[in-house]
Amino acid sequence: MGTVTLINNETGQSFDFDLIDCTRGPKAVNFSKLFENAGIFSYDPGYGSTAGCESTISYIDGKKGELLYRGIPIEQLVEKYKFTDICQFLISDSLPKNDEESKKFDLELRHRSFLHEKLKRVFDVFPDNAHSMATLSAIVSVLATLYANHKDMDDEDDYQTMARRIIAKTPTMVAFCYRNSVGAPFIEPDVSKSYVENFFYMLRGYPHSRWKYGLDGEQEITPLEIEALDKILTLHADHGQNASTTTVRNVASTGVHPYAAISSGINALWGPAHGGANEKVLAQLHEIGDVKNVDKFIERAKDKNDSFRLMGFGHRVYKSYDPRAKTLKKLKDELDKKGIRMDAHLSEIAQKVEEVALSDSYFLERGLYPNVDFYSGIILTALKIPRELFTPIFVMGRMPGWCAQLIEHDKNPYARITRPRQVYLGK
């Protein structure tokens, strides 16, 4: 095992620390005994050089622009598997071995998709136009009161039930959050429909003035739409120790109910620097308004005296193209050809933003490329999903990842409460 020597030039003392071999990527220095042995601690705001846990769930190679779920590239998973298979894969580390196993899991989710009657009544307290992310995190907190037994999980079955339950109910909660915010009645899940079809059905179901219906009140949900949203969810399923996942782990480290930790993760995801960027990207494309304005906005993004940032660009880990963005861009073009029409005007502006930014030294030198949120909004709009649901859709995708990370954290006998130190500069 390699070591790293730290020399304190003030005292001349030196200290050796073990290197940890990760199965992929650079090595890590084990600084867990830094304070105990050397009497000093590390300072790393934003944790850019710090690992807070060991994990086997997802791996990102930021230079290559690669993302793996449990060792398998996302491009392969998105082509071969349904989102519900990916959920099973992430929470249990095992892909369905055959169609029968895949269907069994899918069926369990369908049956668990209903909400407790009391939970439905909680929606009444939220005002019209409440943002669905705020409502969703509150509803997930309330879910902890209904399934108090998940607080103490003993065996694998307990963990699986906790995860399957919340994964199954998330589309229902998201659809209800939206319908409640616009005063439309809830549409109950239909067990004859698959995970994604059910979400569309509960979201668009009659009556709601936003969508067009046939005489029988039915609104068409096409297989292509289902396939597209399914892929989008898979692309969001896990992503290392990002801000919301770290929040879930940090909150879980205090020993709270798992759904309380997930509710905190939902709040962390809402911010525009994280999952909330997908909603902001679309607003920004509208603000740019025309390809002829792109140069002006790119100049603003580069200006350090202007708070304007290009939304959907840049990432802490990726210093090349985010593979999720690459797959989404391809999906956008494919869907457009197959008949799910993208907004041509917005697509043209987005394309131009990408072209101008990626030929500009400011973006190239800093490794700022389109991230997952850059193209997802254009596709979600073409799928007739309201803009305020873009980040809740991210929650739907990320739920199996959060559950898998929470389970991993909970089962780790060495996991401790998260308790960083501070560089105190006060009186």
Name the residues annotated as catalytic. 315, 373
Which residues on neighbouring strands pair with residue 19, listed in sequence order? Answer: 29
Nearer to ligand CMC, 200 or 313 (CB): 313
Q: Is 407 in the site for ligand CMC (CB under 6 A)?
A: no
Q: Is 399 in the site for ligand CMC (CB under 6 A)?
A: no
Q: Is 191 in the site for ligand CMC (CB under 6 A)?
A: no
Contact 6, 14 (CB under 8 A): yes
Q: Is 240 in the site for ligand CMC (CB under 6 A)?
A: no
Q: Using CB under 6 A, which of the segments 114-122, 203-211, 247-255, 270-278 binds ligand CMC?
A: 270-278
Nearer to ligand CMC, 200 or 374 (CB): 374
Give the one residue of 131, 151, 309, 384 binding ligand CMC; rule: CB under 6 A. Answer: 309
* C-alpha span between 127 and 131 (Å, rounded): 9
The radius of gyration of the chain's CA atoms, rounded to the nearest angstrom, is 23
CB of 215 to ligand CMC, least distance (A): 42
CB of 273 to ligand CMC, least distance (A): 4
Nearer to ligand CMC, 108 or 322 (CB): 322
* C-alpha span between 78 and 227 (Å, rounded): 10
Q: For residues 29-58, which are near ligand CMC according to CB under 6 A?
A: 46
Q: Is 234 in the site for ligand CMC (CB under 6 A)?
A: no
Which residues on neighbouring strands pair with residue 59, listed in sequence order? Answer: 68
Nearer to ligand CMC, 70 or 302 (CB): 302
Site size toward ligand CMC (CB under 6 A) is 21
Give the one residue of 314, 377, 400, 401 binding ligand CMC; rule: CB under 6 A. Answer: 314
Nearer to ligand CMC, 314 or 323 (CB): 314
Q: Is 326 in the site for ligand CMC (CB under 6 A)?
A: no
Interface characters, 138-177, with ligand CMC (x: CB under 6 A): ----------------------------------------
Nearer to ligand CMC, 104 or 330 (CB): 330
Give the one residue of 366, 411, 412, 420 binding ligand CMC; rule: CB under 6 A. Answer: 366
Q: Is 315 in the site for ligand CMC (CB under 6 A)?
A: yes
Q: Residue 318, Cα to own-chain centre: how many angstroms?
A: 16
Q: Using CB under 6 A, which of the segments 137-145, 210-218, 304-312, 406-414 binds ligand CMC?
A: 304-312
- Provide the sign of the torsion angle of the four alpha carbons 141, 144, 146, 147, taken in this order: positive
Q: Is 242 in the site for ligand CMC (CB under 6 A)?
A: yes
Q: Is 311 in the site for ligand CMC (CB under 6 A)?
A: yes
Q: Using CB under 6 A, which of the segments 36-44, 124-132, 246-254, 365-373 binds ligand CMC?
A: 365-373
Q: Which residue's Cβ has the minimum distance to ligand CMC? A: 314
Q: Which residues bind ligand CMC (CB under 6 A)?
A: 46, 239, 242, 273-275, 277, 301, 309-316, 366, 368, 371-373
